[in-house]
Copies of this chain bind each other. A is one copy, B any other.
């Protein structure tokens, strides 16, 4: 039940697509036949890791920045992020001749911190609450707040991923999407369910950061005390109000998956698809392999590979993990 919450429409998504056209890549869908075969499905990957800045996040940022008021444009942008949104916002701000300041956890991926700086972003690292640090920064100087996911324009931008998948695959059955704050799945599910209702949309979040699952159970957004997870992109401090409403309305199911399974799936996905996915992007495959999602024989399944910003800590984990992939 969305209880009167505002939901994005197909018109919103079509408008977003127009706004980001020419700035964002139209990423490819690639087949992952050998990975899907033992699962009994026809498997494809939406290679959104090949998006500019290495993740889907620029879609939402570009759509949001294109709609700022004159007043909002006069200030620097302020946001918070574990990394991919940070880099995307810094990059998108630069496209608009603006500057972004992003609060990031001190534990953030060095690769993502470096990238954000390289795109001209100002970074505030904090050991504490991202929300508190953002409030403190906003108190110091006037800035325009850009929520990393709980914003209808950001959600509509992310939704363009869903439209592209529908365009590429006529007979799609199931779309499996990683869930952090829920911006990506909110947009994708809203687009897919309104355009082609029979397609199933399933979300996957780490068991170590199951804020959406708990918010769905509670019926309202919970703050999550997320333990560390290898899927660093899927562990925001809060679940969104808008994203929860979209997930309630449009998503068939959200499942959780253990970190170890995510690590194994990351390595398997790299080895087989040759896509340099970050763990967040491999969570959907991990859920499929664990049997967490019911599958019909030979159905067509698309995994959204949300990002590819892999750091050395992840490489070390993948190099050391003990499971031998079966071929």
Contact = CB atoms under 8 A, between A and B. Distances in A.
A71 interface: no
A223 interface: no
B270 A310 contact: yes
B312 A118 contact: no
A316 B114 CA distance: 21
Interface string A301-327: 000000011101101101110001101
A276 interface: yes
A46 to B, nearest CB: 13
Interface residues of A, number: 31
Contact of A50 (B115, B274, B319): B274
A327 B114 contact: yes
A49 B275 CA distance: 10
Interface string A276-296: 110000000000000000000
A308 B111 contact: no
Given A115-B327, A318-B315, A271 B310 contact: yes
A225 interface: no
Contact of A114 (B273, B310, B315, B324): B324
Contacts of A312: 318-320
A273 to B, nearest CB: 8
Contacts of A271: 111, 276, 309-310
Give the interface centre of A49, A111, A277, A312 by most chain B CB atoms within 10 Å. A312
Copies of this chain, complex-wide, total 2
Contacts of A118: 327
Interface string A35-59: 0000000000001011000100000
Nearest to A53: B34
Nearest to A87: B327
Interface in A47-90: 47, 49-50, 54
Contacts of A135: none
A308 B49 CA distance: 17
Contacts of A49: 274
Give the interface centre of A54, A270, A275, A319 by most chain B CB atoms within 10 Å. A319
Nearest to A25: B31
A30 interface: yes
Nearest to A277: B274
Contacts of A30: 50
A28 B91 CA distance: 26
Nearest 4 CB-CB pairs, A to B?
A: A118-B327, A315-B319, A274-B308, A316-B319
Given A50-B274, A274-B277, A315-B319, 7 more contacts: A54-B274, A118-B327, A270-B276, A271-B309, A275-B276, A316-B316, A319-B319
21 contacts: A28-B28, A49-B274, A111-B271, A114-B324, A114-B325, A115-B327, A117-B327, A118-B327, A270-B276, A270-B310, A271-B309, A273-B276, A274-B276, A275-B275, A275-B276, A276-B276, A312-B318, A313-B319, A315-B318, A316-B319, A319-B319
